[in-house]
Structures are given as structure tokens and as C-alpha cells.
Amino acid sequence: MVRLVPTKQWRDFRNWCRSRRLRALPANAWTLSAYIRACEPTMKPEAIHEAVAAIARHHLLRCVRSPDRHPMVQDTLQALEQNADLKGSQSALFDAEQFLAPKPSKISRAAPEKKNKPRRIQMRAQPKLVSRRPT
């Protein structure tokens, strides 16, 4: 009997599915597409393709239909490649260093002391109007 040794890519996918309470085997096409999108910021497209191949291999060795050929997964991989191609040609909208630099600290100046001036009382030209009480 051949023993299946899980690869690092499969273990990462399985742990990702467990943390989200999704089924890793057999994986749904939506689950694999979501995993691809979750890996996009941290992994290179080649590494993601290797991970998808390892997931598909694990499915095939377990005699389960692999989700890697589903149109949704293929569209997600295609979008991943397009995003990677466009990444280098995009211009920066702002200087990142400007926003990441620490803010300059305010110069602490001694606040001028407030002098307690005597309160001035102003007299009214006319007395306050008060309602009359019925007698």
C-alpha cells in the first residue's frame, strides 16, 4: 500500500481550510479560488500554481475529483496572472515613504501662564423682567 506524504502546500491549504471551517478534501472550486485569492498578496504566481498542482495531486491520489479544472478556478488563475503582469506597469500614485515616515514631533513650548484677572461685573441698563405673581 502506497502511503501518501502530504506536501507543505497541501498542509498549508488544509490548515487554511480548517481555520475557516471549510472542507479541504474534496475541496469545492469556490474554496480553492478563495485560497488562491488569499495567497495572492504573499506568494508569487509560480508558487501559487505549484500549490494548486499539489492540491490537485492530493485529490487525485485520494481518488477524488480535483477542483483545479473548474472554470472558476481557471478564471481565478488567469486573473492572478493578469494582475501580476500589470503590477510592474502601474505607476505610483503617491510616494510611499512620505506616508510611512514618522510624523515630526511637536516642539514643546512652555505654555504661557494665565493670569487670574479679577472678574468684572457689568451693570445692566434695565432690570431683568420677571413675571408677576398673581395676588
Query: How many domains does the chain divide into?
Result: 1
Placement of cell 469556490 in the chain: 30
pLDDT at 1: 46
Domain assignment present for residue 38? The answer is: yes
Domain around 29 = 8-87
Ordered alpha helix ranges (H), the chain = 8-19, 29-39, 45-61, 71-87, 96-100
Residue 124 lies in a domain: no
Q: Does the model's pTM come out above 0.85?
A: no
Q: Percentage of residues in the chain with pLDDT exceeding 70?
A: 70
pLDDT, tens digit, 9 for 90 and up, residues 25-46: 889 999 999 999 999 888 998 9
